[in-house]
Structure 1
């Protein structure tokens, strides 16, 4: 049914708005903006940044103008353990640029793989359009950083420091995606012209050689061997010579990455709890670890995160970092901006509705480093290590209310030992359901 807006309707709307209360609110909003005019100090007062469990994780990192939050969060969790084991200074960081280089290289090959797999589909098919819209970007998932580390190891930032493009990636991504779309034209034409497998493979190798050259020129040549020199917190000097990225990971991180699994909370009808999910065409390393999520209730997800925090280990987690976030003061709390009250409207939706209707999805990964409890032992607020530098929040740390976590947190990564036998069996042995490439549980990448 069609229904146009009439001048009579507008006159009625204008008359209904002409109240003294609306006039006061209008002056406040037009002068100060929506967030400042609706700022709820009571919510701030209820989320004082003091926590029963508060891990000492040192200074925050800064991803700057790049989308490497997932990578920073993962390397930060490893850095926290290294800091405790080797008494490293707060300044120490693993190289985010090193894993960035290899992620870009592998994503190019992953893109070629998907282009060839969809070469017989029309250009306007949703899958092909999805691939070509963004051939690659900075984002990623926990399992994707595991795939990179499994293959390439890690290095300290001193062995492979930041470059202009790793800290501000927009220019590079524009150039790189143009190259990949150009290559997609060639690969699809080869398939359309019935080229042989060897010709396609040779062409793809030439493309990868171009990709490597572009990456090497842009970010610098990644190290094959290096020496690691450092002073510990007591200023004692240490040096380890002739390390490879793999031997460095084994000696200084030493994690069994197969024991860390992705747990999600997606309460939508298409994703029953206590089941696993893959996302179509989501990944980076061809032949590497696949992205796999185990979906559980929000209470279960929280309990798993708390168990790992109680064991003294920080927790990688993914959220929608858009709604109800006070970046300046470092607060993630439902109701900190009381916009519905400001406008006298009701825009509430359930978590499932926000996912289903495109209102919310995972946009940012950070690290849980603490939690506070009420008198009944239930969580009330969480301490969050961000990767936006020390100027955001409280020297880079945020406070997240438990209510906000329920509504906008979607993923944690925890060790299998905290899951229990039943969930481990589901994760290891159940056949995952394949989600569409554009599913919100793949949005962080």
Structure 2
């Protein structure tokens, strides 16, 4: 009996060899289906070839419970989906209060404050970690994207709490709010340069670093004001309702406007997530190092729960008359023109004759999935007490789907939705009690710290 390595078997080569490549080519040529797929995919999109038309034609946009009667918004060439979804959640109540058919808060106003606060948040992280080597993994993560557009539910709530809101007319969109790339390019360079300068000042102490931080933030303020305009401190608010009746509230601050027209108790909402990794126990809270946008704001905290609870609470909330903010991995199994998602929408395994077998936990661990986009559930199709499909307000304009409102089959929810924002009072008592315990910290690069764009 022989133990260990079997020396009688030839070693598998480390490098690709001519014989191995020839074997692959012969195997490919020997299968007629491969030639058929090659002919198809070289002339058209692989998604068109892989599309399961039975799944696509089996989906329609009707749902049993439907909340939206407003127009879909458009984030355009920016990564503000989390902000749009949050403001879309609030605008229905504001429209009712104002007596108007459609209403939008200023997304540009929140973008300005998010960028300015996030610059300060980043620079403070640099000060705190300036004793570490520049190739430290946390430093590398911070420097990779010091001021991107993406965000999280808690970051949205923190912005509204500190800076209030204004109507879109008080700070309308600009070219750079709708297409942020050029502005972000300048901001990233300024902040990375600022990081280098702050790290060099570390021997002089924290106060010297923070004094220089004021100069860096001054440059950031100028860039933001040039690209986005100046956020109003006060504005005259008057409007005409749907019955042509004129109203005037007079001069308001953003905080006063938010207090009057935000009809949901944002401080009562919690972020419920589905993280199926073995390292993330259900019923525990988590936070991610250096994730956030406002220094000294409450941290971004997630409460991990089973997927069936996320579905049940989302459905109950929509049936109860309130939309639901959620985050997902948006591009998986998505048909953009039709505006639908289904877990079995594309048969890639059939096209490539290759298995795609990773479950959600494995995809998270191996960087094949993370939250990439935030939207709003505005409808649900209930059958025998269970959700069958979901109606989704996207922020990609009115050109696709049902005038910008998409349809998600419930199979997709389980595989690709990561989090929802719900009221604490909706949670089971044992799960609500978990919110009172300190969250487990995850490293800055953990995939659950991904930002929705």
TM-score (norm 2): 0.94
Which of 415, 435, 438 pairs up with 2:445? 438
CA distance in 2, matches of 1:344, 1:373: 36
Most deviating of 22-31 and 126-135:
22-31
Which of 60, 73, 82 pairs up with 2:85? 73
On the 8 A contact 2:272/2:420 being kept in 1, the answer is yes
Which of 56, 70, 79 pairs up with 1:58? 70
- 3-state SS of paired residue (1:124): coil
> Which residue is 1:41 aligned to?
53
Which of 221, 224, 230 pairs up with 2:230? 221
Which of 86, 90, 95 pairs up with 1:83? 95
> Does 2:322 align with 1:313?
yes
> Does 2:371 align with 1:362?
yes
CA distance in 2, matches of 1:440, 1:188: 27
Following TM superposition, where does structure 1 have runs of at least 4 consecutive aligned residues deviating by more than 6 angstroms? none
> Does 2:300 align with 1:288?
no
On the 8 A contact 1:307/1:418 being kept in 2, the answer is no
> Which residue is 2:16 aligned to?
5
> Which residue is 2:160 aligned to?
149
Where do 1:152-163 residues align within 5 Å? 152-163=163-174
On the 8 A contact 2:164/2:254 being kept in 1, the answer is yes
Where do 1:100-249 residues align within 5 Å? 100-191=111-202, 194-249=203-258
Deviation for aligned residue 1:6:
3.0
CA distance in 1, matches of 2:13, 2:232: 64
Most deviating of 384-393 and 198-207:
198-207
> Which residue is 2:401 aligned to?
393
Structure 1 residues 218 and 330: alpha-carbon distance in aligned structure 2, compared to 1, 3 A threshold: same
> Which residue is 1:323 aligned to?
332
User: What do the CA deviations read for 1:70-98 (whole angstroms, capped 9, x no partner)?
Assistant: 000000000122223333222x2100000
TM-score (norm 1): 0.96
Structure 1, unpaired ranges of 5+: none
Where do 1:406-421 residues align within 5 Å? 406-421=414-429
CA distance in 2, matches of 1:215, 1:22: 53
Where do 1:337-376 residues align within 5 Å? 337-374=346-383, 376=384
Structure 1 residues 251 and 11: alpha-carbon distance in aligned structure 2, compared to 1, 3 A threshold: same
Structure 1 residues 17 and 198: alpha-carbon distance in aligned structure 2, compared to 1, 3 A threshold: closer
CA distance in 1, matches of 2:243, 2:56: 38
CA distance in 2, matches of 1:346, 1:201: 53
CA distance in 2, matches of 1:213, 1:6: 57
Structure 1 residues 22 and 213: alpha-carbon distance in aligned structure 2, compared to 1, 3 A threshold: closer
User: What do the CA deviations read for 1:372-421 (whole angstroms, capped 9, x no partner)?
Assistant: 123x3221111010000011322111111111110000000011121132
> Does 2:38 align with 1:26?
yes
Q: CA RMSD in A?
A: 1.4
On the 8 A contact 2:56/2:345 being kept in 1, the answer is yes
CA distance in 1, matches of 2:332, 2:263: 37
CA distance in 1, matches of 2:389, 2:317: 16
CA distance in 2, matches of 1:23, 1:257: 56
- 3-state SS of paired residue (1:32): coil
Structure 1 residues 281 and 35: alpha-carbon distance in aligned structure 2, compared to 1, 3 A threshold: same
CA distance in 2, matches of 1:63, 1:57: 19
Number of aligned residue pairs: give it: 440
